[in-house]
């Protein structure tokens, strides 16, 4: 599955890839970041014009070097899929946006637009792009993330996109705890989004390990799905947690599941960028 045509994502472009790296334009800055899957020869592109280059160190973190024209502590705006989002250089080499997720935006909107006031739960909500897409499609969104700073970033993005306050609740919580609590309260959702990290921590230090915790999380989804749900969308950037693994975890929901690889396209070969599984109820 490829991200939609670039005219919808005015400020993003994949410029080149290869030799374990990817070169992307995010608004007015070009970033050179690791892409271990790009094992081919470097494709031609403006590699020498990168505003910042990220080198990974031990344990997933790393550092940005060659920073030209932007202050590491400042953000910058981009227009992405009709959203106005703020990006920042983070210590993990991320910038607050996973452009490959845009491949699912139109699908989520279509599934939600057929309903009256749908409710969406976005676990591991990060900086809010998917929550904003759903809120602007008319959903009441509960966005959950363990990190206060990330939720503050999502709030900033939601404001810039003029999301009505009543359409988005940002909760600082542990995903699994929150889901179990919602089940006890008999709270129901029409759409659920799951984009778990390989490793993370809840706000009270709860340890999240995808290989141990993701199956129990998926097993806890059924009680919070509404009678006629719109979708469950699960994505992964963890090596080994492939489309068919995601599909297996959603199979007990007994509907229709499709899965695959997310690809970024632009200049150079298509760049594999994680996996997805999409569930909808059966006919």
Please identify, using beta-carbon distances, which residue of 29 and 208 lies nearer to ligand SAM. 208
Q: How far apart are the first and last CA of the chain?
A: 24
**Residue 138 burial (CB < 10 Å; 0-12/13-18/19+)?**
middle
Is residue 8 a contact point for ligand SAM (CB under 6 A)? no
Size of the site for ligand SAM (CB under 6 A): 20
Pairing status of strand 62-65 against strand 191-194: unpaired
Output the smallest distance, CB 125 to ligand SAM, in A. Answer: 7
Please identify, using beta-carbon distances, which residue of 43 and 247 lies nearer to ligand SAM. 247
Dmax (CA) for the chain in angstroms is 55
Please identify, using beta-carbon distances, which residue of 187 and 267 lies nearer to ligand SAM. 187
Burial code (b: 16+ CB inside 10 Å, e: under 16) for 22-52 equals bbbbbbebbbbbebeebeeeebebebeebbb
**Of the candidate residues 32, 190, 195, 247, the single one contacting ligand SAM (CB under 6 A):** 195
SS3 track for 188-201: CECEEEECCCCEEE
Is residue 198 a contact point for ligand SAM (CB under 6 A)? yes
Q: Nearest to ligand SAM by Cβ — which residue? A: 200
Residues of this chain, 213-232, that bind ligand SAM according to CB under 6 A? none
**Of the candidate residues 208, 231, 276, 279, the single one contacting ligand SAM (CB under 6 A):** 208
Please identify, using beta-carbon distances, which residue of 118 and 202 lies nearer to ligand SAM. 202
Would you say 199 and 59 are in contact if contact means Cβ atoms under 8 Å apart? no
Would you say 70 and 76 are in contact if contact means Cβ atoms under 8 Å apart? yes
Report the distance separating Cα 218 and Cα 196, nearest Å: 11
Residues of this chain, 151-190, that bind ligand SAM according to CB under 6 A? 174-175
Is residue 200 a contact point for ligand SAM (CB under 6 A)? yes
**Of the candidate residues 85, 150, 224, 250, the single one contacting ligand SAM (CB under 6 A):** 150
Q: Which residues would be at the binding site for ligand SAM (CB under 6 A)? A: 124, 126, 144-147, 150, 174-175, 195, 197-198, 200-202, 206, 208, 236-238
């Amino acid at each position: 599955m490829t991200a939609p045509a670039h005219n919808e994502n005015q400020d993003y472009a994949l410029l080149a890839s290869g030799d374990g790296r990817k070169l992307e334009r995010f608004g007015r800055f070009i970033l050179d970041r690791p892409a271990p899957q790009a094992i081919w020869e470097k494709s031609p592109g403006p590699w020498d014009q990168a505003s910042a280059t990220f080198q990974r160190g031990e344990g997933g973190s790393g550092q940005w070097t060659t920073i030209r024209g932007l202050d590491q502590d400042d953000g910058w705006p981009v227009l992405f899929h009709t959203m106005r989002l703020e990006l920042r250089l983070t210590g993990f080499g991320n910038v607050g946006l996973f452009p490959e997720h845009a491949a699912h935006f139109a699908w989520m909107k279509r599934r939600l637009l057929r309903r009256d006031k749908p409710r969406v739960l976005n676990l591991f909500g990060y900086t809010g792009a998917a929550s904003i897409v759903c809120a602007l499609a008319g959903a009441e969104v509960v966005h959950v993330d363990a990190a206060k700073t990330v939720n503050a970033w999502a709030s900033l993005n939601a404001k810039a996109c003029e999301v009505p306050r009543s359409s988005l609740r940002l909760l600082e919580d542990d995903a699994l705890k929150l889901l179990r609590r919602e089940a006890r309260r008999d709270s129901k959702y029409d759409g659920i989004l799951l984009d778990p990290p390989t490793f993370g921590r809840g706000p009270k230090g709860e340890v999240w390990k995808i290989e141990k915790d993701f199956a129990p999380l998926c097993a806890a989804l059924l009680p919070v799905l509404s009678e006629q749900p719109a979708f469950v969308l699960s994505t992964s950037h963890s090596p080994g947690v492939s489309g068919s693994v995601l599909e297996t975890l959603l199979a007990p929901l007994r509907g229709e599941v499709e899965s695959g690889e997310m690809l970024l396209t632009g200049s150079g070969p298509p760049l594999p960028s994680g996996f997805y599984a999409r569930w909808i109820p059966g006919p």
